[in-house]
Structure 1
Amino acid sequence: MNRRTVLAGVGSIGLASLAGCLGLAGLDKHESDPAGVDAAVRDDTGYEQTKIDDLVIDEKFELGPYSETVSVTNYLTEHEKRVDMGPLGSQRGALFMVLTTPQVSIAGRELNPVGDMSTTELVDLVQSNYDAIGDIAHDGNDEIAVLDQETTISRFTADAQFNGQDVEVYLHVTEAVETAEDLLVTIGVYPSLVRSQEEDNVLELVSNVTETVDESASTGGAEGSGEGNGGNESDSGNESDGGILDAV
Structure 2
Amino acid sequence: MSPPPSRRRLLAGVATASVAGLAGCLGGAIDDATTHEAAPATVAESSIEEAGYGLEESHEVVEEETVAGQSVEFRNQYVEYARSGDLPGIGEVTAGVFTTVTSPRASVLGRELNPIAEMGPEEIAAYADEQYPELSVRGEPVGERSVESLEATTVTTFSGTVTIEGYEVDALIDVTRLAHEGDHVVAVGVYPEALPGSAGRIETMFEGLDH
Structure 2 CA distance for partners of 1:91 and 1:154, relative to 1, 3 Å = same
1:3 paired residue among 1, 5, 8 = 8
1:25 has 2:30 as partner: yes
The answer for the alignment partner of 2:206 in structure 1 is 206
- Give the aligned CA root-mean-square deviation in angstroms: 2.3
Counterpart in the other structure of 1:55: 61
Code of the aligned partner of 1:2: R
2:76 — aligned with what?
Answer: 74
Aligned to 1:193, the other structure's residue is in SS state: coil
Match of residue 15 from structure 1 = 19
Distance 1:133 1:19 in 2: 36
Equivalent residue in structure 2 for 1:86, among 79, 88, 97: 88
Identity %: 26
Tell me the residue number matched to 1:232. Answer: none
2:184 aligned counterpart, secondary structure? strand
CA contact (8 A) 2:137 2:158 kept: no
Deviation (angstroms), 1:185: 1.2
Change over 3 Å in CA distance of 1:159–1:30 after alignment to 2: same
- Given candidates 139, 143, 154, the residue that maps to 1:140 is 143
SS of the residue 2:129 aligns to: helix
Question: TM-score with structure 2 length normalisation?
Answer: 0.84
Number of positions where the alignment pairs a residue of Structure 1 with one of Structure 2 = 203
Structure 2 equivalent of residue 36 of structure 1 = 42
**CA distance in 2 between partners of 1:99 and 1:88 (Å):** 30
Deviation at 1:144, TM superposition (A): 1.6
> Aligned to 1:106, which of 99, 105, 108?
108
Opposite residue 84 of structure 2, the aligned amino acid is R
Structure 1 residue ranges without an equivalent (≥5): 212-248
Unaligned runs of 5+ residues in structure 2 are: 1-5
Which letter maps to 1:118?
A: G
Tell me, what secondary structure is at the counterpart of 2:89? helix
Of the candidates 168, 172, 175, which is equivalent to residue 173 of structure 1? 175
Distance in 1, Cα, partners of 2:27 & 2:163: 39
CA apart distance, 1:128: 3.6
**Which amino acid is 1:125 matched to?**
Y
**Deviations 1:174-225 (CA, angstroms, capped at 9, x unpaired):** 1x2222221111100011111x3011111121112111xxxxxxxxxxxxxx
Query: How far apart are the structure 1 equivalents of 2:105 and 2:166?
Result: 38
**Superposed CA offset, 1:55-86 (max 9, x none):** 2222346xxxx533332121111111002222
Residue-by-residue CA offset, 1:122-155 (whole Å, 9 max, x unaligned): 112222444443242421111222212x221111
Change in Cα spacing, 1:38 to 1:203, as seen in structure 2 (3 Å) is same
- Using the size of structure 1 for normalisation, the TM-score is 0.73
More strand by share: 2
Aligned 8 A contact 1:80 1:93 in 2: yes
